A and B are shown apart, each in its own frame.
Chain A
Amino acid sequence: MENEGRRKFLGVCVAGATAAAAVAAGYPVFRYLAPKSGQGGAAKLVIPVGELKEGDAKFFEFAGSSAVLIKTKSGELVALSAVCTHLGCIVQWVKEKQQFLCPCHGGQFSTDGTVLGGPPPRPLAKIPLTVTEGNITIG
C-alpha cells in the first residue's frame, strides 16, 4: 500500500517534470517558428502625385500585404487592398474597363472596391490616404 502511494507520487513527479521539460523545449521552438509581430513592412507610404496618370493604377507592398492606388478618370485618388476577398489572390487592374479583375475565379470590383460580379463576398478593403504638397500619404 505504501509502495503504491510512493509509485503514484513518483509517477506524478515524473509526469510533471516531463511536462515542464516539454514546455521548456517547445516554447523556444514555437517562438522560433512564429512570425515576428510587426514584421509586415511599412504601414505608411508616400507617393508623389505626379507618379500616377489619370486612369492608371500603382501596386505596392503595404503593411506586409499588397495594395493598389488608383487615379480615376475623374481625378479621384483611391487606395485599396489588392487582396481579393474571395480566396486571397491579387486582383489586376483592367484599364480599359476601369475595374479590377481577380484572375483566380473571375471576381470583379469597381474603382471604390465594390463587388461588381463573381464570387467575392465583400468589397476590397479601403486604405485611408491624404494629399499634401504634391505627395500622397497612404495609411
Chain B
Amino acid sequence: MLKRLYRWLDLRIGVGEIVEKELTGYLLPRNINEWYSLGSVLLVIFALQVITGMLLMIYYVPDADKAFKSVTFIMNEVPYGWLIRLCHAVGSNMMVAVLILHMLSTLLMGSYKAPRELNWVTGFTLLALVQGISLTGYLAPWSQLSFWATTVATNSASAVPVVGPYLVEFLRGGKLVGPPTLGRFFALHAAVLPVVIAAVIGAHLFLLKRTGISAPPFGREGTANPFEAQQYHYQGHPGGIPFFPNYVLQDLTSISIYFAVFLAVVFFWPGMPFTPDAFVPADPFKTPAHIKPEWYFLANYQTLKIFPSELLGLSVQAAAMTFLALLPFIDRSPERHPLKRPVFLTLVIAGILLWIALSVWGHLS
C-alpha cells in the first residue's frame, strides 16, 4: 500500500529524486558524532512547544483578571490540562538547556569557523529569541512569580542612558507591569516570536544545506573538501554515510533519550518550573521576598547585582554577548581541534565555570 502510494507520488512529483538528493544521497562525514543530532532534537522541542502552546490557547485567557484563573482551570479541571501545561513549561526550560548544549558542541568542535560564520550568527540569534519567548511566556500565568520576575527583568532596561525610563515604559505599556504588559507580552509570545523563530530556523537550515555539514575535528579522518575562500563551493563528503537511514537512526536515538529525560521531569519533578509564588495570583501591592528570574537568567541577574552601577553591569553583559555573537569573525585560525587550541579551550572552560558560579551565586544570594 505504502509502496504504491510512493510510486503514485513519484510518478507525479518526482519524490524519488528528492529522497535521493536530500535523504539517501545526502552524505555526512564518516566521523560524525551524536552531538550533531542536537539540532534535530531542538526541532522536535520547538514543534512540541508550538503544539502544546496552541492547545493551551484553547483555555487560556490573556486578561489580567482571568489569566490566573484560566491557568488554574487548565491545571485542575481540564482533562490532562496539567500534562499539556507541564509539557509546555518544562519544554521551554529544556529548549534553553538543549540549545546551550548544541552551541557548546559547535563551539568545542570549531564548527562556527569559516565558511559557517552565518550558521553561528543565526544560531546565536535563535538563543536570544528563545530567551525572549521564554521571558514573555513567563508572564502569561499572571502569578506573583510571573508578575515580579517580569517587573525585575523589564526594570533592568532602565539602566540604558537617556532613553532607559522610556524604554521600560514602552516594554511594559505603562509605568508599572500591569494588564497592558500582559497584552503585549502575550502577542509577542504567541504570535510574533514563534513566527520569527520559525523564520530564523529556516534560515539556519538553509545555510546548513548551502555550506554542507562540518566534519568533526576528531575521530576518524574527515571526508570534507577543505574550505578555501576563493569561490563558493558546497562542502560535500564523498564516501560519507547517508543521512537516511544511518544518521536518522542517530537522530531518533537522541530524540528518544531527550524524551526520556523530558518525561521524567514532567512526571517525577513537576515542580521544577515553579516556585511557591507561582501558585499565588499576581498582587501589584505585595512584593514577595527573594524573587528570582529563571535559571538561565540567574547569571545575568547576579552580574547586575555585582556591579555598583546597573549601566556597567548591562554593558559588561552586552560586551560578552557581542563577543560571543561575533566569535567566528574574531577567532579566524583554521585549527578546529580543541586540544590543539589550549588558550581557546581554557577560555571556554573558564567561561562555563564563571557562568555556573554566577548562576549558583544568584540562586543562593
Among residues of B, the one whose C-beta sits closest to the C-beta of A27 is B80
A34 to B78, CA, bound (A): 9
- What 1/0 mask marks residues of chain B from 16 to 58 whose CB sits below 8 Å from any chain A CB? 0000000000000000000000000000000000000001001
A32 to chain B minimum Cβ distance, whole angstroms, is: 5
B76 to chain A minimum Cβ distance, whole angstroms, is: 13
Among residues of B, the one whose C-beta sits closest to the C-beta of A36 is B79
| A31 close to B (CB within 8 Å) | yes
B270 to chain A minimum Cβ distance, whole angstroms, is: 15
- What 1/0 mask marks residues of chain A from 19 to 57 whose CB sits below 8 Å from any chain B CB? 000000000110111101000000000000000000000
A18 to B84, CA, bound (A): 20
| B132 close to A (CB within 8 Å) | no
Among residues of A, the one whose C-beta sits closest to the C-beta of B51 is A29
Contacts of A31 in B (CB 8 A): 79-80
Contacts of B55 in A (CB 8 A): 29, 32-33
Total of A-B residue pairs, C-beta within 8 Å: 21
A16 to chain B minimum Cβ distance, whole angstroms, is: 15
Contacts of B84 in A (CB 8 A): 28-29, 32
Among residues of A, the one whose C-beta sits closest to the C-beta of B77 is A36
Q: How many residues of A contact B (CB 8 A)?
A: 7
B206 to chain A minimum Cβ distance, whole angstroms, is: 30
Among residues of B, the one whose C-beta sits closest to the C-beta of A34 is B79
| B240 close to A (CB within 8 Å) | no
The number of chain B residues touching the other chain, given as a range, is under 10
A36 to B81, CA, bound (A): 12
A29 to B80, CA, bound (A): 7
B74 to chain A minimum Cβ distance, whole angstroms, is: 9
Most buried by B among A29, A32, A34, A36: A32
- What 1/0 mask marks residues of chain B from 74 to 111 whose CB sits below 8 Å from any chain A CB? 00001111011000000000000000000000000000
A28 to B55, CA, bound (A): 11
A120 to B78, CA, bound (A): 37
Among residues of A, the one whose C-beta sits closest to the C-beta of B78 is A32
Contacts of B58 in A (CB 8 A): 32-33
- What 1/0 mask marks residues of chain B from 311 to 355 whose CB sits below 8 Å from any chain A CB? 000000000000000000000000000000000000000000000
Contacts of A33 in B (CB 8 A): 55, 58
B259 to chain A minimum Cβ distance, whole angstroms, is: 9
A13 to chain B minimum Cβ distance, whole angstroms, is: 14
Contacts of B78 in A (CB 8 A): 32
- What 1/0 mask marks residues of chain A from 99 to 113 whose CB sits below 8 Å from any chain B CB? 000000000000000
A28 to B86, CA, bound (A): 13
A52 to chain B minimum Cβ distance, whole angstroms, is: 34
Contacts of B79 in A (CB 8 A): 28, 31-32, 34, 36
Contacts of A36 in B (CB 8 A): 79
Among residues of A, the one whose C-beta sits closest to the C-beta of B48 is A25
A33 to B83, CA, bound (A): 13
B264 to chain A minimum Cβ distance, whole angstroms, is: 15
Among residues of B, the one whose C-beta sits closest to the C-beta of A17 is B256
A34 to B58, CA, bound (A): 11
Contacts of B83 in A (CB 8 A): 28, 32
A99 to B128, CA, bound (A): 65
B80 to chain A minimum Cβ distance, whole angstroms, is: 4
A8 to chain B minimum Cβ distance, whole angstroms, is: 15
- What 1/0 mask marks residues of chain A from 55 to 93 whose CB sits below 8 Å from any chain B CB? 000000000000000000000000000000000000000
Contacts of A32 in B (CB 8 A): 55, 58, 78-81, 83-84
Contacts of A29 in B (CB 8 A): 55, 80, 84
Name 6 extra pairs, CB < 8 A, besides A32-B83, A33-B55, A33-B58.
A28-B84, A31-B79, A32-B78, A32-B80, A32-B81, A34-B79
Chain B residues within CB distance 8 Å of chain A: 55, 58, 78-81, 83-84
A-B contact pairs, 18 of them (CB 8 A): A28-B79, A28-B80, A28-B83, A28-B84, A29-B55, A29-B80, A29-B84, A31-B80, A32-B55, A32-B58, A32-B78, A32-B79, A32-B80, A32-B83, A32-B84, A33-B55, A33-B58, A34-B79
The 8 nearest A-B residue pairs measured at CB = A28-B80, A31-B79, A32-B80, A31-B80, A28-B83, A32-B84, A32-B79, A32-B78
